[in-house]
Amino acid sequence: MKCRKCGGQAVLELRRHNAAFCAPDFQEFFRRQVTEAIRKHRMFTREEPVLVAVSGGKDSLALWDVLSDEGYTTTGLYLNLGIFDYSRESRAKCEAFAADRGLKLSVVDVEALVGAPIPEVQHATRRPTCSACGLSKRYLLNKAALEHGFAVVATGHNLDDEAATLFGSTLRWQTDALSRQSPLLPSTHPKLVRRVKPLYRLSELETAAFAFLRGIDYIVDECPFSRGATSLVYKEILNRLEAASPGAKHNFVYGFLERGRAAFEQLENVTLRECARCGQVTTGVLCAFCKLADQVKRAR
C-alpha cells in the first residue's frame, strides 16, 4: 500500500477516500481537513480566541493540538464531572497536555454548579445519565465562554459522533434536533456563544490514528456510564454499514448538511429568552439546567 501523496510506504488506508497515506502525509491530510472545516463554515478567524472543550480523550486533545499548531489562540476548558477515577485520570491527561505545550487550561467543577457530581445527578432526574450530563456540559461550556469573554467554543465531535447523533434524530424524526444539527451553531442570542465542531470531517479511526502518531497521551477508557448507551448501538450499526459500503457515514452526514438540513430549518422557528433564574438562554421560563439543579437539590 503506497502513500497517495509521496508514493512511500503507507501506514493508514482510508477506504472512504479511496486513499492511503504515510505518517507525515496523513497528519498533513488531517490538519487540512480541520482547516477546511473552519474555512468552509467560517467557524472562527485567526484573531478570535477559541475556548476548546477538552475531555482528556483522543478527539478533543487532537483538536487542541491542531488548533494550537496552526497558530490559533486557544484556551482549554476541562469540565470536572466527578465521575470517580475516570474524571481524575482524564483531568490529569488534560493538565499534562497543557503543561507540555505551555497552553492555558481552565477547570470547572460540575458539582459546585449543578449541586452534585454526575453520578448523583442521575438519581435526581428521570433523564438517562448521558442526557443529564450532556445538558450540563452544554450549559457550563456556554457559561464559561460568556464569563471569560470567548465568542466561540470548539468541541471534538468527529464524523462518527455526528453520524450517530443524526441517526438517532432521524430514526425518531426529531425535527427540532434535525434543524439544529450542524458543524457550526451560530450565536442566535447575545448570551449564546457560537459552537463549532472542526473535526466533523474526520472519523473516529482517523482521530485515534492522529493522536497516536502525534504521541498524544489521552485517556483510552470510555466513561463508565456510557456502557449500553444508545449512541454506542448506533455507532455499531453505522460501522457495519460503513464496512459494507465505505463512505456510508460520510454520505449520510454530508448529504444531510447539503440537502436534508434545509428541509428542517424552515419547519422550526423558536424564540429564545433568558432564564428567570440564571439569565442563560432558554425557550421556556426556567432553563433545563436550572430545572435539573432543582431536582438535584430536592433529591439530596
Binding-site ranges for a copy of itself (CB under 8 A): 170-173, 175, 230, 233, 237, 240-241, 244-245, 248, 251-252, 255-256, 258-260, 262-264, 266-267
Cβ proximity to a copy of itself, 192 vs 248, nearer residue: 248
In whole angstroms, the minimum distance from the beta carbon of 269 to a copy of itself comes to 13
Cβ proximity to a copy of itself, 263 vs 299, nearer residue: 263
| Nearest Cα residue to 170 out of 99, 253, 103, 114 | 253
Cβ proximity to a copy of itself, 97 vs 256, nearer residue: 256
Cβ proximity to a copy of itself, 119 vs 247, nearer residue: 247
Cβ proximity to a copy of itself, 244 vs 271, nearer residue: 244
Q: Which residues contact 125 (CB under 8 A, 6 or more apart)?
A: 132, 292, 295, 296
In whole angstroms, the minimum distance from the beta carbon of 206 to a copy of itself comes to 21
In whole angstroms, the minimum distance from the beta carbon of 161 to a copy of itself comes to 17
Whether the CB-CB separation of 13 and 206 falls below 8 Å is answered with no
Whether the CB-CB separation of 283 and 189 falls below 8 Å is answered with no
In whole angstroms, the minimum distance from the beta carbon of 204 to a copy of itself comes to 19
In whole angstroms, the minimum distance from the beta carbon of 250 to a copy of itself comes to 11
Helices (H), the chain: 23-40, 58-69, 84-101, 110-114, 118-124, 129-147, 159-171, 175-180, 204-213, 230-244, 248-255, 261-265, 288-299
In whole angstroms, the minimum distance from the beta carbon of 230 to a copy of itself comes to 8
Cβ proximity to a copy of itself, 117 vs 260, nearer residue: 260
Q: What b/e sequence results for 83-98 when a residue is b if at least 16 CB atoms lie within 10 Å of its CB, and e otherwise?
A: beebbeebbebbeebb
Whether the CB-CB separation of 184 and 42 falls below 8 Å is answered with yes
Q: What are 195's strand-pairing partners?
A: 153, 185
Task: Give ∠ CA 250-251-257 in degrees, rounded to 5.
Answer: 95
Query: Residue 173: which region, alpha, beta or left (left: phi > 0; alpha: psi -120 to 50)?
Result: left
